[in-house]
Amino acid sequence: MAQQVSVDISRRGGGHDPGSAESCPKCSQLLDSDELAANLMVCSHCGHHFPITSRERIGQLADEGSWTEMAANLRSADPLEFYDLRPYVERIEEAEYDTGLSEAMLVGTARLHKMDVVLAVMDFRFMAGSMGSVVGEKFWRAAERAVETRFPLVAVCASGGARMQEGLLSLLQMAKTTCAVEMLSQAPVPFVTVLTHPTTGGVLASYATLADVIMAEPGSLISFSGPRVIEQTIKEKLPEDFGRAESNLNHGQIDMIVERAELKNRLVQVLGMLEGGVACALQPLWEEEAGPAGRRGAFAQTLERIKSFAHTPWRSS
């Protein structure tokens, strides 16, 4: 389940080093760090999307000052007293030190173009974005908040799979997050996932693929088994585009690929459309004449809001 997927995020504690340069792994161009950051960590030459931290992601999506973190005090315990070459607690402390985070997922509320949402954003740097008890519980609380407030839930995924060091407890977080999605669909509250590089294993095989709409960033690896495991099993080399977002789109596994610069707008458009439908469903037909906030009114308002981003083409490509 958990697996080795190599992702190069050497930037410690998030953010970039001002004034330095970074070379693009895809086109080898040397990129100025400030310009790269200003371009949302996307290569201006070839469009390669560099992995970003959970805080950077929230900074890119949330309206200024609108982010409020929840469940920030949750920390991993060591229920198995897990010890490989080093104790689990030591690995956790190291991850905390390296990332400045307390776990592989941040959850909270934010506004995207004034639309209230609940965000759940994973961070691959924290123990390969692995899902253990804390990630499962944080996701549950995010879903619970979404149901209480009727804010849509947006989950940005980046994960190597379930966290081995919590054993079966980690595997069962797949069941737990699935139950959380079921709670969302009973409400119903819109739920959209953004699969980023890499989304694999137990996260892919639970809430990541259970969303109402699944988006992915260009070039992201999206595969249940790790490429290395597959190569070892079938004993042949995998094609270059194996498991990438583009291949997943061709095979009907995701709805769309969205470039980072368009992500916020696209999310608001999709959520707005879904919410328009939810507004209709919650407002019974016989109350239709109740006034401007009635069934048609709610939908019209949503439509106005999503139309206001004139720079994002209204019709999806």
Taking CB under 5 A as the criterion, which residues in 42-61 touch Zn ion? 43, 45-46, 48
Residue type at 32 in one-letter notation: D
List C-alpha distances in Å: 5 to 59, 118, 198, 234: 25, 28, 7, 18
- Residue 25 identity (one-letter amino acid): P
Q: Provide the 3-class DSSP secondary structure of residue 134.
A: helix
Within positions 70 to 89, which residues make up the interface with another protein, using CB under 8 A? Answer: 73-85, 87, 89
User: b vs e for 216-244, b when ≥16 Cβ sit within 10 Å of the residue's Cβ?
Assistant: bbbbbbbbbbbbeebeeeeeeeeeeeebb
Given 14, 136, 190, 198, the residue binding another protein (CB under 8 A): 136
What does 43 interact with, of Zn ion, another protein, none (CB < 5 to 8 A by kind)?
Zn ion
Query: Considering the rule CB under 5 A, would residue 41 count as an interface residue with Zn ion?
Result: no
- The residue within the footprint of another protein, chosen from 31, 134, 142, 306 (CB under 8 A), is 134
Residue 43 near another protein by CB under 8 A: no
Name the CA dihedral angle for 16, 22, 28, 31, rounded to a multiple of 10 degrees.
Answer: 80
DSSP string across 282-294: HS-GGGGGG-TTS
Q: Is 241 in the site for another protein (CB under 8 A)?
A: no
217 sits near another protein (criterion: CB under 8 A):
no
* Residue 187 engages another protein in binding (rule: CB under 8 A): no
Among 171, 213, 216, 267, binds another protein (CB under 8 A): 171
- Pull the structure tokens for residue 222: 């999206």
90 binds another protein (CB under 8 A): yes
Q: From the CB of residue 194, how many other CB atoms can be counted at a distance below 10 Å?
A: 26
Which residue in 7, 40, 187, 230 binds another protein (CB under 8 A)?
A: 230
Pick the piece of the chain touching another protein (CB under 8 A) from 54-62, 200-208, 284-292, 293-301: 200-208
Summarize as ranges the residues that interact with Zn ion (CB under 5 A): 24, 26-27, 43, 45-46, 48
